[in-house]
Amino acid sequence: MSRIGRLPIEIPSGVEINITENNLVSVKGPLGELKQQITPEIEIEVKDNQISFSRSAETKRLKSLHGLSRSLVNNMVEGVLKGYEIKLELVGVGYRAEVLPNNVLDLVLGYSHHTFLQLPPEVNVEALSDKRSNPVITLKSSDKQLIGHVAAKIRSFRKPEPYKGKGIKFVGEVLRRKAGKAAAK
C-alpha cells in the first residue's frame, strides 16, 4: 500500500466533511468551503472522526492516485482550518507592488509598462513596501492549489536571474548565483 495513502486523516473540531455518491468531497470549516472530485476507484470511508482511503485494485495508476487523493483531502482540511500563506519578494531597483480595488495586483518590474494581474476572490493579497527593504507580496488563501498557482504566475512575470539576483523570488528562497564575466588581462 501507499505509505501516504494508508495514513488516516484526523477530522478536527469545527471541520465538517461531506462525501457524495460520485466521490465529490466537500470540506467546510471556519475559513471557507472547498470541494474536490476524487476518482471513483478510490474508496473513502469516514468513521470515528477519521477519513481513510483504500483502492479497489493494485494497478500502477491507482497506486499513484491513492496517495494523491489522501494529500488533496488533507490539504483541504488544513486549508479550511488554518489557511495557507505565501510571501514573494521583489528584488530590483524601482520594483514596486500595489493592490488596486477589485483584487487587482499592479506590479512595476523594470519593464516599460505596468503589469496587472486580476486575482481570484478566494486569494487575499497584501503588498508591503518599507523604505530600505524590498517590497513583499503576501498571498493568503484556504486553497493550497490555487494559492500555489497564483504565486507561480506572479513569479513568472520576472524570474530571478543568476547574476545579480534581480526578479521575484519566494521569501527564504536561496538562489544559485553565478560569477560574472572575469576581467581579461
pLDDT in tens, 9-18: 999 999 999 9
Residue 54 shares a structural domain with residue 98: no
184 has a pLDDT exceeding 60: no
* In-domain check, residue 181: no
Quote the CA–CA distance of 138 and 140 in Å, as a whole number: 7
CB 75 within 8 A of CB 144: yes
Residue 89 shares a structural domain with residue 77: no
* In-domain check, residue 66: yes
Q: Tell me if the pTM is above 0.75.
A: yes
41 torsion bin: left (phi>0), alpha (psi -120 to 50), beta (else): alpha
Residue 136 shares a structural domain with residue 69: no
Give 115-144 pLDDT, tens digit per residue. Answer: 999 999 999 999 998 888 999 999 999 999
- Amino acid letter for position 60: K
Give 82-109 pLDDT, tens digit per residue. Answer: 999 999 999 999 999 999 999 999 999 9
3 state DSSP class of 151: helix
Indicate the residue among 81, 104, 128 that finishes a domain: 81
Domain that holds residue 16: 9-81
Q: What is the number of structural domains in the chain?
A: 2
Residue 73 shares a structural domain with residue 89: no
Residue 92 shares a structural domain with residue 163: yes
